[in-house]
């Protein structure tokens, strides 16, 4: 980028290994045209491994701060919460965020930032019309909080990850908005040895491997997928459940899966590329049409995918034409159709892989949107 080097503040609600955190990680590790500071959420109990977090996001953050942040669960199908979490949610958002709000305002005032990027809709309460906020909407708004509309109007720019996240706001006249799919970079998987990984999991060698990756929750269909898989008695198939979740639900899934030795509950995996290299078909089991990050990561690692869909082709999947031969949709929670796929795909392993990245294209599109915002006049505050 010619001219002045930009300075930005990135604020994220999540520092986990999946979803929004991985998308931000991929952006920041490839975004060399900006200097940035980073704000991460402060835990209610215990401390964060800040050195690990800094490295996770590429190690380039100038300042890294922990703050209590707002979290508005104003989206469809939020994660299941324990009673402990629900009990602490009110003081966390109403008291602790108020305590750190003034500190964040002070950091922004002193920082001299060209813009502030919020990594999720749940952080929308931070937005004021005074600063140049860019809001990244990764969730489908459920209409529960009307103040969200004001937040989006006050944002200088809004990035939607797909048309489904844009749809609840189609009636809003936004200052600047863009639909921009997430960044994916799976080229590093080419440096790993599938044979070495199989040596640690010999039960998967020469089997057709179906994988559900991420949080183990009812919403994501873990129990549904396990039961469908168990109903198809094909000795060539293996089912991987990779990730963690609420302990009671995980125990329930584990107890069910224990009846079938073809099912492997992998647990958490720090290097998720290993899982994709062993996977032939990445699964999703939501009760609604859903693509999600694991589908694209799978496709970008050469896997095929099985996903719930009510539409056809490019209407539900970006880059459908590129990946059409690797995409197997089924009606959401249609057990019969999913079982048919387990039967028909048995023995059909992925033999050749192409490892892909869209990180460069993504950074260019992101930076182009930022420059458009920064070169635009400050919009008048809209009413209504």
**How many whole angstroms from its chain centre is CA 35?**
24
Higher per-residue pLDDT: 5 or 380: 5
Tens digits of residue pLDDT in 295-342: 999 999 999 999 999 877 777 888 899 999 999 999 999 999 999 999
**242 shares a domain with 147:** no
User: Is residue 50 within 8 Å of 39, Cβ to Cβ?
Assistant: no
**101 shares a domain with 23:** yes
**246 shares a domain with 154:** no
Question: pLDDT at position 92, please?
Answer: 63
**What percentage of residues in the chain have a pLDDT greater than 70?**
93
Tens digits of residue pLDDT in 6-17: 999 999 999 987
Confidence band for 380, pLDDT divided at 50, 70 and 90? low
The arithmetic mean of pLDDT across residues 343-368, rounded, is 95
Q: Please give the Cα distance from 12 to 20 (Å, whole number).
A: 8
The arithmetic mean of pLDDT across residues 254-276, rounded, is 93
The arithmetic mean of pLDDT across residues 173-194, rounded, is 94
The arithmetic mean of pLDDT across residues 196-216, rounded, is 93
Confidence band for 1, pLDDT divided at 50, 70 and 90? very low
Q: Which helix (H) or strand (E) holds 7?
A: strand 6-11
**249 shares a domain with 124:** no
SS3 content of the chain, % helix, strand, coil (to 5): 40, 15, 40
**282 shares a domain with 167:** no
Q: Which residue has the tokens 């539409």?
A: 311
Does a structural domain hold residue 379?
Answer: no
**Nearest-CA neighbor of 115 among 65, 156, 150, 152?**
156
β-pairing verdict for 177-179 and 133-137: unpaired
Q: Please give the Cα distance from 104 to 102 (Å, whole number).
A: 5
Look at the chain and report how many structural domains it folds into. 2
What separation in angstroms does the CA of 64 have from each of 37, 67, 347?
Answer: 6, 10, 48
Does a structural domain hold residue 88?
Answer: yes
What separation in angstroms does the CA of 149 have from each of 44, 124, 131, 372?
Answer: 29, 10, 17, 22
Question: pLDDT at position 124, please?
Answer: 97
Question: pLDDT at position 19, please?
Answer: 81
Confidence band for 384, pLDDT divided at 50, 70 and 90? very low
The arithmetic mean of pLDDT across residues 280-294, rounded, is 92
**11 shares a domain with 59:** yes
Question: pLDDT at position 91, please?
Answer: 60
**242 shares a domain with 254:** yes
Q: Please give the Cα distance from 82 to 99 (Å, whole number).
A: 25
**What percentage of residues in the chain have a pLDDT greater than 90?**
74
Average pLDDT value over all residues in the chain? 91
Q: What are phi and psi of 75, to 5 degrees?
A: -135, 160
Does a structural domain hold residue 380?
Answer: no
Does a structural domain hold residue 384?
Answer: no
3-state SS class at 353: coil
User: Is residue 38 within 8 Å of 48, Cβ to Cβ?
Assistant: no
The arithmetic mean of pLDDT across residues 222-251, rounded, is 94
- What DSSP string runs through 178-199? EE-PPP-B-GGGGGS-HHHHHH
**192 shares a domain with 147:** no
3-state SS class at 236: coil
Does a structural domain hold residue 43?
Answer: yes
Does a structural domain hold residue 75?
Answer: yes
3-state SS class at 330: strand
Does a structural domain hold residue 381?
Answer: no
Question: pLDDT at position 85, please?
Answer: 54
Instruction: Lowest mean pLDDT of 71-75, 127-131, 367-371, 374-378, name the range.
Output: 374-378
Query: How is residue 151 annotated by DSSP?
Result: H
User: Is residue 220 within 8 Å of 285, Cβ to Cβ?
Assistant: yes
Question: pLDDT at position 90, please?
Answer: 55
Q: Per the structure block, which two tokens stand in for 341?
A: 């796929």
**197 shares a domain with 156:** no
Q: Per the structure block, which two tokens stand in for 237?
A: 């198939």
**228 shares a domain with 170:** no
Question: pLDDT at position 289, please?
Answer: 86
Q: What angle do CA 156, 160, 163 make, to 5 degrees?
A: 135
**Predicted confidence (pLDDT) at residue 167 exceeds the cutoff of 70:** yes
Q: Please give the Cα distance from 205 to 363 (Å, whole number).
A: 37
3-state SS class at 358: coil
Question: pLDDT at position 99, please?
Answer: 86
**What's the whole-model pTM score?**
0.88
**192 shares a domain with 72:** no
Tens digits of residue pLDDT in 89-118: 556 666 888 889 999 999 999 999 999 999
Question: For residue 13, what are the domain limits?
Answer: 6-183+359-374
Q: Which helix (H) or strand (E) holds 10?
A: strand 6-11
Question: pLDDT at position 93, please?
Answer: 65
Query: Alpha helices of 231-267 — where are they, by DSSP H?
Result: 247-257
Provide the phi-psi class of 157: left if phi over 0, else alpha when psi is between -120 and 50, else beta: beta
3-state SS class at 216: coil
Task: Go through 25-52 and write b for each residue having 16 or more CB atoms within 10 A of its CB, e for each that does not.
Answer: bbbbbbbeebebbbbbbbeeeeeeeeee
**334 shares a domain with 222:** yes
What separation in angstroms does the CA of 210 have from each of 5, 302, 341, 355?
Answer: 46, 14, 11, 19
Tens digits of residue pLDDT in 34-91: 999 999 999 877 778 999 999 999 999 999 999 999 999 898 876 655 545 555 555 6
278: CATH = 3.40.50.2000
Q: Please give the Cα distance from 139 to 76 (Å, whole number).
A: 7
Question: pLDDT at position 362, please?
Answer: 96
Does a structural domain hold residue 50?
Answer: yes
């Amino acid at each position: 980028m010619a001219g002045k080097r930009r300075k930005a503040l990135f604020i994220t609600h999540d520092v986990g290994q999946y979803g929004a955190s991985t998308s931000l990680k991929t952006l920041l590790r490839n975004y060399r045209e900006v200097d940035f500071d980073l704000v991460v959420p402060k835990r209610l109990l215990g401390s964060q491994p800040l050195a690990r977090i800094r490295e996770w996001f590429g190690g380039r953050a100038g300042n890294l701060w922990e703050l209590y942040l707002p979290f508005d669960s104003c989206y469809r199908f939020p994660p299941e919460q324990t009673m402990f979490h629900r009990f602490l949610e009110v003081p966390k958002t109403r008291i602790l965020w108020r305590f750190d709000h003034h500190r964040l305002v002070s950091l922004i005032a002193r920082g001299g930032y060209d813009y502030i990027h919020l990594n999720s809709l749940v952080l929308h309460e931070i937005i004021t019309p005074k600063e140049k906020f860019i809001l990244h909407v990764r969730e489908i708004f459920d209409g529960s909080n009307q103040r969200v509309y004001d937040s989006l109007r006050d944002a200088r720019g809004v990035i939607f990850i797909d048309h489904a996240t844009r749809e609840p706001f189609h009636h809003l006249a936004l200052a600047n908005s863009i639909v921009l799919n997430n960044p994916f970079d799976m080229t590093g998987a080419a440096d790993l040895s599938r044979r070495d990984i199989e040596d640690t999991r010999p039960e998967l060698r020469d089997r057709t491997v179906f994988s559900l990756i991420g949080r183990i929750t009812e919403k994501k269909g873990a129990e549904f997928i396990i039961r469908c898989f168990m109903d198809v008695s094909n000795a060539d198939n293996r089912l991987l459940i990779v990730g963690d979740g609420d302990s009671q639900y995980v125990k329930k899934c584990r107890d069910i899966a224990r009846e079938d030795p073809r099912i492997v509950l992998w647990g958490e995996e720090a290097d998720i590329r290993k899982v994709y290299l062993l996977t032939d078909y990445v699964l999703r089991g939501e009760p609604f049409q859903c693509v999600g990050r694991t589908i694209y990561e799978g496709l970008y690692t050469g896997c095929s995918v099985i996903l719930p869909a009510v539409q056809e082709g490019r209407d539900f999947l970006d880059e459908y034409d590129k990946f059409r031969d690797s995409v197997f949709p089924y009606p959401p929670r249609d057990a019969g159709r999913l079982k048919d796929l387990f039967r028909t795909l048995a023995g059909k392993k992925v033999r050749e892989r192409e490892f892909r990245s869209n990180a460069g294209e993504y950074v260019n599109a992101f930076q182009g949107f930022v420059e458009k915002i920064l070169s635009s006049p400050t919009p008048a505050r809209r009413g209504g």
